[in-house]
Amino acid sequence: DAGITQSPRHKVTETGTPVTLRCHQTENHRYMYWYRQDPGHGLRLIHYSYGVKDTDKGEVSDGYSVSRSKTEDFLLTLESATSSQTSVYFCAISEPGQAGSGNTIYFGEGSWLTVV
């Protein structure tokens, strides 16, 4: 158990509505990530954070925003949900390591989002 809690675990929402997914960690890890997983595409990075208030875009960031006001919480917001954002969303955490040992990345259990 990597000490990661995602909420909500399942959500159905309507097109055009805002949605926020929350990732909470108890490990005090510096780095946090949001991925989405889709058939035929695998896991793709949406946004990541390398510290409080420090975030950057990943491969598929369009339509998503993130915020990190505390070490333990990383929020993913869909400002206006679209059907193409129906997916499984995974939060992940890691801690910087020494050269040669790197940083291992641990995943949460996922949030299933359906946009109708």
Partner 1 sequence: QKEVEQDPGPLSVPEGAIVSLNCTYSNSAFQYFMWYRQYSRKGPELLMYTYSSGNKEDGRFTAQVDKSSKYISLFIRDSQPSDSATYLCAMTLGGADGLTFGKGTHLIIQP
Contact 30, 50 (CB under 8 A): yes
Q: Is 100 in the site for partner 1 (CB under 8 A)?
A: yes
Read off φ and ψ for residue 23, nearest 5 degrees: -120, 125
- Name the residue type at position 93: I
Q: Is 70 in the site for partner 1 (CB under 8 A)?
A: no
The pair of three-digit structure tokens given for residue 48, joined into one six-digit string: 């990541």
- Name the residue type at position 74: F
Positions in 25-54 near partner 1 (CB under 8 A): 31, 33, 35, 40-45, 48, 50
Residue span binding partner 1 (CB under 8 A) among the ranges 15-23, 61-69, 73-81, 97-105: 97-105
Q: What is the DSSP letter of 83?
A: G
Residue among 91 and 115 whose Cβ is closer to partner 1: 91
Q: How far is Cα 13 from Cα 88, in angstroms, rounded to an integer?
A: 14
Q: Is 89 in the site for partner 1 (CB under 8 A)?
A: no
Which spans of this chain sit near partner 1 (rule: CB under 8 A)?
31, 33, 35, 40-45, 48, 50, 56, 58-59, 90, 92, 96, 99-110
